[in-house]
Amino acid sequence: MAAIPFNDLKPLQTALAGELEAVVRRVLASGWYILGPELEAFESAFAEYVGVRHVVGVANGTDAVELALRAVGVGPGDEVITVAHTAVATVCAIERAGATPVLVDIDEASFTIDPAAVEAAMTPRTRAIVPVHLYGHPADLRSLTAIADRHGVALVEDCAQAHGARWGGRRVGSIGRLAAFSFYPTKNLGAYGDAGAVVTDDPRLAQRLRGLRNYGQTARYHHDGPGQNSRLDEMQAALLRLKLGLLDEHNGRRRAIAELYGRRLQGVRLPAVGPDAEHVFHLYVVRHEAREALRQGLESAGIGTLIHYPIPVHLQPAFAHLGMRPGSLPVTERVTGEILSMPLYIGLSDVAVERVAEAVGQIVCGGGVTAG
């Protein structure tokens, strides 16, 4: 029986091959490859999709978080509150902006930042809050917006895993002062290399971001402030614009796969969806106390899984300087010992989903794993 990989980008590539090749030929024939009309067209289309006035394409999602923070004035001496249960890029970006990450615990149901923990972590040095819409589920933006407004700090959404998700009927990215997106190839809206964007309704911040991504340049050979090279190139912008037109359809398929998992999986804790949230299932993450035995059993059955993420940021050696110890974030640490990401990608068939669910049931309910 054929193996079921955790992820496979080839089915989508095959389905779109003709259209993608036409885009590549168009860009190559144009002779314009950086900061040109393809980028402008994608920025305009993505702004309309998210529901914001401005999109600034940048080189990758990490740069997007860093430049968003720098645009609102975050720098040395400032604190930025976020979670340890995230891709390490979120925290790397905060440190690259010169700030100190303050890592707080998560809500156990949604896996996203706990607003009560954010409130408790606020200090006079806090300059921004970065909620991560992890796995495609939005954080509690209503509570977080209230906290940010009450304390006069910036809310910067990390939307790297949540393209198209909604909170209270609004797209994520349109609620915070700014938001950062990654278009890494595995994302719901993925490029064919590294790519990212910052979105905002504030024209002054958008202007600042365009300078920050291009050496601080405000006009040709005129540099009014610090900056760096972080530009979304024409080829990636053109390919992303093509795929943007399919994003809602693809998110619908992801939700359909998630619904099928929800009906068929037994013996594991399923992901929850909050009443105000529209989940886009970048990842479908279940929990089991004997996670490693389950993972090994699925591997033996030819089914790929991954753990997002096995070691929280505060326990990574690279962040020992933050001074946090095991037990600092009990919910995060409990969750990271139990989570397992199931196969979910465009091109995954219902038959394959049924096979995964059957294998999980046989392993868990058939006595193949035990807790403890």
Please check whether residue 196 is in contact with residue 233, taking contact to mean a CB–CB distance below 8 angstroms.
no
> Do 195 and 310 belong together in one domain?
no
> Do 217 and 330 belong together in one domain?
no
> Do 257 and 300 belong together in one domain?
yes
> Do 265 and 223 belong together in one domain?
no
The domain tally of the chain equals 2
- How confident is the model at residue 1, as a pLDDT? 81
- How confident is the model at residue 38, as a pLDDT? 98
Around Cβ 248, how many Cβ atoms within 10 Å?
13
**DSSP sequence for 150-178:** HHT-EEEEE-TT-TT-EETTEETTSSSSE
> Do 47 and 86 belong together in one domain?
yes
Q: What is the pTM of this model?
A: 0.97
Residue 283 belongs to what domain range?
247-365
- How confident is the model at residue 165, as a pLDDT? 98
73/162 Cα distance (integer angstroms):
25
pLDDT one digit per residue (tens) for the chain, 372 residues = 899 999 999 999 999 999 999 999 999 999 999 999 999 999 999 999 999 999 999 999 999 999 999 999 999 999 999 999 999 999 999 999 999 999 999 999 999 999 999 999 999 999 999 999 999 999 999 999 999 999 999 999 999 999 999 999 999 999 999 999 999 999 999 999 999 999 999 999 999 999 999 999 988 889 999 999 999 999 999 999 999 999 999 999 999 999 999 999 999 999 999 999 999 999 999 999 999 999 999 999 999 999 999 999 999 999 999 999 999 999 999 999 999 999 999 999 999 999 999 999 999 987 666 554
Strands 100-104 and 154-158: unpaired
- How confident is the model at residue 219, as a pLDDT? 86
Which CATH number do you get for residue 37?
3.40.640.10
> Do 220 and 285 belong together in one domain?
no
Around Cβ 35, how many Cβ atoms within 10 Å?
18
- How confident is the model at residue 77, as a pLDDT? 97
Strands 126-129 and 154-158: parallel
